[in-house]
């Protein structure tokens, strides 16, 4: 049995904090400031709830939209965290990869609208549009990796970071020169489903009643849930469910497939992985492909309910998705998922709960990031690090 000296007792939370304060007294100031800000926010929320300025209906309504928005952030954040996990590099051009998927997919869905295919086969047309968006994003990401990043793989870490920022500007300006800076509007799509459960959009022809059901894309319906009057758009739930499916598929690939094992091996030690027969260049390209595919799907889903696309549209979602990745723990796949969903809910719910205008949602979300990083510098789930070998 090991002695007590060999296995010292755990210091616990309080002991760990005291040791941190002794090693870095500035941490005391940070914790005090963070605690004060958190207390003020909590008091404001309680005050607004008690005064009736914010109702439970408002919170639930905002959370529904927040889940959809957070799903988009999570899908984009997974691209950041995959690349960081393998290359220890922040791909700041990932927002433009997202934009390219939405923008190129616009031309596909517009062509199908003009031909009448969108009205005749809306589900197939939407699937084709998502596929086109994914292919467009993958193409941009692979070109970026091959042209901009691979030659700098052994350079100091600051060099690829600056290159990524430059690549982001180049892609955005290229799209502006090719397609113009004006916003483009996605066609309005109606996708009816479940007529046997939802007797909506009904008409009577020759004495026979026909119901189309619920419109999953354009529909907005008033419902009563647990005594709350809510106005719900089914597209938000579609976005959330599809995002969960895509994230589950990615998790399966990373954890249960040969490609996933190779990715984890390269992330741990590239040289050793190469000696074991892993094609490092191929694995890195696959990493970019997976992240870009998720970003392309997220771009089309985002455009379906936002409807407008433009060359500058990738910057804000890209920065917020990066924030979500840091919030959950950069390099941590579950952390990116949870961070994206949490950030979407926070920026949707917090302004109304704090009695602030919605224009300050960015300030609130980034402020929450700062607060969390004060108390948890590696993010909620922590940064994924290679385990030490005995």
Tokens, residue 77: 């954040």
**Closest to 349 measured CA to CA, from 70, 131, 140:** 70
Q: What is the pLDDT of residue 346?
A: 86
pLDDT at res. 223: 81
Please report whether residue 357 resides in a domain. yes
In angstroms and rounded to an integer, the radius of gyration of the C-alpha atoms of the chain is 24
Domain ranges, residue 85:
60-193+236-375
What integer pLDDT is reported at residue 6 of this predicted model?
47
- Going through the chain in order, the beta strands assigned E by DSSP cover 184-185, 192-193, 202-205, 208-211, 214-215, 221-225, 228-232, 308-309
End-to-end Cα separation, the chain, in angstroms: 19
Residue 367 forms part of a structural domain: yes
- DSSP letter at 302 equals H
Instruction: Look up residue 380 and give its DSSP letter.
Output: S
pLDDT digits (tens, 9 = 90+) for 87-99: 888 899 999 999 9
Q: Report the number of distinct structural domains present in the chain.
A: 1
What confidence category does residue 21 fall into, taking pLDDT thresholds of 50, 70 and 90?
low
Q: What is the pTM of this model?
A: 0.84
Mean pLDDT, rounded, for 111-124? 91
User: Domain holding 145: CATH number?
Assistant: 1.10.3470
Burial of 147 (0-12, 13-18, 19+ CB in 10 A): exposed
Question: Does 255 map to a domain?
Answer: yes
State how far the Cα of 93 lies from the Cα of 171, in Å rounded to an integer: 8
Residue 181 domain-assigned (yes or no):
yes
Q: Rounded CA gap, 134 and 141, in Å? A: 10
Closest CA to 234 of 224, 245, 223: 223
CB 199 within 8 A of CB 192: no
- The CA distance from 4 to 54, in Å, is 55
Residue 388 in any domain: the answer is no
Weakest-pLDDT range from 168-182, 206-220, 246-260: 206-220
Tokens of 276: 């074991």
* Residue 148 neighbours by CB distance under 10 Å: 17
What distance in Å separates the CA atoms of residue 205 and residue 324, rounded to the nearest whole number? 52
354 contacts 60 by C-beta, under 8 angstroms: no
Q: Quick check: is 35 in a domain?
A: no
- Name the packing angle between helices 333-354 and 315-328 (round to 10°): 110
Task: Check whether 2 has a pLDDT greater than 50.
Answer: no
pLDDT value of position 59: 81
Mean pLDDT of all residues in 18-28: 64
Residue 110 and residue 186: Cα distance in Å, rounded? 7
**What confidence tens digit (pLDDT) does each residue in 53-83 have?**
777 787 888 888 889 999 999 999 999 999 9
- The secondary structure of 334-378 as a DSSP string is HHHHHHHHHHHHHHHHHHHHHT--GGGHHHHHHHHHHHHHHH-TT
State the pLDDT at residue 206. 61
pLDDT at 157 over 50: yes
The answer as to whether 352 is a domain residue is: yes
Q: What is the average pLDDT score of the chain?
A: 83
Residue 386: predicted pLDDT: 44
Q: Does a structural domain hold residue 84?
A: yes
- Summarize pLDDT for 342-383 with one digit per residue, the tens: 888 888 888 777 777 777 777 777 777 777 777 777 777 766
């Amino acid at each position: 049995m090991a002695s007590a000296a060999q296995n010292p007792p755990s210091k616990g939370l309080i002991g760990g904090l005291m040791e941190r304060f002794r090693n870095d007294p500035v941490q005391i100031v940070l914790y005090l400031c963070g605690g004060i800000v958190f207390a003020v926010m909590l008091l404001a929320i309680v005050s607004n709830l008690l005064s009736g300025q914010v109702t439970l209906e408002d919170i639930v309504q905002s959370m529904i939209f927040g889940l959809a928005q957070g799903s988009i952030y999570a899908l984009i954040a997974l691209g950041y965290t995959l690349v960081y996990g393998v290359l220890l590099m922040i791909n700041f051009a990932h927002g433009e990869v997202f934009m390219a998927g939405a923008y190129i997919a616009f031309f596909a869905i517009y062509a199908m609208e003009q031909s009448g295919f969108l009205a005749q086969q809306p589900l197939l047309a939407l699937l084709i549009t998502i596929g086109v968006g994914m292919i467009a994003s993958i193409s941009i990401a692979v070109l970026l990796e091959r042209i901009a990043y691979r030659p700098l793989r052994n350079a100091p870490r600051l060099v690829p970071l600056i290159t990524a920022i430059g690549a982001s500007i180049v892609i955005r300006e290229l799209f502006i020169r090719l397609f113009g800076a004006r916003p483009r509007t996605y066609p309005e799509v109606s996708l009816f489903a479940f007529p046997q459960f939802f007797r909506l959009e009904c008409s009577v022809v020759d004495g026979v009643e026909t119901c189309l059901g619920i419109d999953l894309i354009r529909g907005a319906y008033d419902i009563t849930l647990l005594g709350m009057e809510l106005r719900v758009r089914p597209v938000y739930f579609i976005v959330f469910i599809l995002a969960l499916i895509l994230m589950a598929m990615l998790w399966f690939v990373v954890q249960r497939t040969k490609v996933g094992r190779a990715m984890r091996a390269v992330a741990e030690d590239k040289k050793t992985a190469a000696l074991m027969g892993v094609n490092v260049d191929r694995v890195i390209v696959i990493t970019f492909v997976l992240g870009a595919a998720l970003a392309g799907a997220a771009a089309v889903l985002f455009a379906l309910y936002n409807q407008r696309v433009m060359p500058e549209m990738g910057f804000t979602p890209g920065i917020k998705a990066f924030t979500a990745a840091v919030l959950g723990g950069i390099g941590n796949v579950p952390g990116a998922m949870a961070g994206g969903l949490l950030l979407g809910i926070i920026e949707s719910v917090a302004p109304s709960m704090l009695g602030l205008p919605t224009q300050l949602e960015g300030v609130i979300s980034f402020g929450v990031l700062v607060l969390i990083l004060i108390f948890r510098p590696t993010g909620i789930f922590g940064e994924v690090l290679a385990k030490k070998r005995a």
